[in-house]
Amino acid sequence: MSKETSILLPSATVDLFLKDSATIAAAKKLDADWRFARVVVRVHEGDVEKAIALYASESSPDIIMVETDTTADSFVERLGALSANCQEKTSAIVLGPVNDVNLYRSLTSIGVSDYLVYPVPYETLSEVIASTLIEKLGASGSRLVAFVGAKGGVGVTSLCEALGWACAENMGQKTLLLDAAGAWSSLGVGMGFEPVASTAEAIKASMAKDQDSLKRMYYQANEKLFVLATGTEPMLETALQISQFEEVLNTAMASYPIVIADLSGAIPAVKKMVLTRAHQIVVVSTPSLSSLRSARSLMQEIKTVQNGKMAELFINMVGVAPGKEVPKGDIKTAMDCEPSVYIPFDAKTFMGAENEGKKISSSKTGEDILSLLMPFAQKLTGKQLSSDTPSPAKTGGIVESILGKLKSGK
């Protein structure tokens, strides 16, 4: 793996039309390569004729790789037929049986990106596809979303966990959760793991580019969701290297398309650093006057460090104190913005999920709450909601039902 291709590759689709069994096996390993987390790789058993037939009825991808048994002029003619069915943006890579310099020159002269001789080992296959994507689409970065609370106890960590599950499980996007709170982090309780390293150790490994050590620090919640399992340091000590927490971000964002940072327990300097870098910021508040007042001041400071970009406002724990909460209309007026979402509070659901180390959607009420976060997850990942995911428009009655239970004490 070269330094130039040791990055998270941009979102793309790659179709491979192969017949050689060894190359097919190598191609099927691409999905396990962290660099290809945003790349859709489709392996077809066939040749140029199958590709021509496929793109006669559907749009061509970013890259097509085609295997051929012959290097005769007849194959070049069939490439012309394939080209006629493809969009201009599509690049082509050819796999052939012999190392033929003249053929290579001929193919590249008509627009083929590269020519390889099969069987192609995994290392070569991945490097050629990676370098072609970078040259074609550039090296785009990951998305860093930061959650910060207006004050303590507003439910930042629970919402980070819920969004992590939404991005990974519902949107199918590789996602990393991390917390700069050290031993004060409660991610381990809510996600069901024991911390295995200190924040200082994670920073040291990140600065050394020690991927093996970092890999041992990750807790894998499911196929797509990972958590940096830090927090073994003493609670009353601050890591001397905490100011270098940005190194952890840099390393994480080279491997994960979505990085969610829980800033609820971070020191102010780390909060400011992450908030300055974040692509998306969520300020979490309850509908209480004291929380909203802090949220307003915090959002103004964030607007300054983000050069005018506003953070999103999540109102959590709606219904925990009926009759004593600031009404929605007054919240909009006082905050000078429309909150992105109002999240009802159900103590049994939230506390049960945390105590048992389960995802919020493990209960029916939790599923209803999670559905409120799906539009934000969709915006963050750039993906469409799956057909079996409840849409926000259908959850209005559900939310009212939850609030009704709270008010009635059921």
pLDDT, tens digit, 9 for 90 and up, residues 270-317 = 999 999 989 999 999 999 999 999 999 999 999 999 988 899 999 999
**Would you state the pLDDT for residue 385?**
57
Q: Which CATH number fits domain 12-137: 3.40.50.2300, 3.30.70.141, 3.40.50.11540, 3.90.550.10?
A: 3.40.50.2300
Query: Which residues have CB under 8 Å from 108's CB, separation 6+?
Result: 114, 115
Q: Which residue has the higher pLDDT, 108 or 201?
A: 201
Mean pLDDT for the chain?
Answer: 87
In 76-93, which positions are buried (b, 16+ CB within 10 angstroms) versus exposed (e)?
A: bebbeebbebbeeebbbb
Is 153 buried (19+), middle (13-18) or exposed (0-12) by CB count in 10 A? exposed
For residue 107, pLDDT over 70 is answered with: yes
Where do you find CATH 3.40.50.2300 in the chain?
12-137
DSSP label of 288: S
The structure's pTM equals: 0.68
Neighbours of 340 (CB within 10 A): 17
Measured between its terminal Cα atoms, the distance across the chain in Å is: 58
Question: Tokens in use for 353?
Answer: 């999920």
Of the candidates 16, 94, 25, the one whose C-alpha atom is nearest the C-alpha of residue 50 is 16
Across residues 67-79, what is the average pLDDT?
A: 87
For residue 60, pLDDT over 80 is answered with: yes
Question: Tokens in use for 344?
Answer: 């009802």
Of the candidates 255, 253, 247, the one whose C-alpha atom is nearest the C-alpha of residue 180 is 247
Can you say whether the dihedral through the CA atoms of 368, 340, 279, 264 is positive or negative? negative
Question: Tokens in use for 40?
Answer: 């859709």
Q: How far apart (Å, rounded) are the C-alpha atoms in residues 93 and 131?
A: 12
Query: Which residues have CB under 8 Å from 265's CB, separation 6+?
Result: 179, 180, 181, 182, 184, 185
Where do you find CATH 3.40.50.300 in the chain?
143-408
Measured CA to CA in angstroms, residue 308 lies from 144, 146, 255, 279 at distances of: 18, 17, 29, 13
Pairing of strands 225-228, 218-220: antiparallel
Q: How far apart (Å, rounded) are the C-alpha atoms in residues 99 and 95?
A: 10
Across residues 184-209, what is the average pLDDT?
A: 92
Q: Which CATH superfamily is domain 143-408 in?
A: P-loop containing nucleotide triphosphate hydrolases (3.40.50.300)
On whether the CB atoms of residues 394 and 372 are closer than 8 A, the answer is no
Neighbours of 71 (CB within 10 A): 19
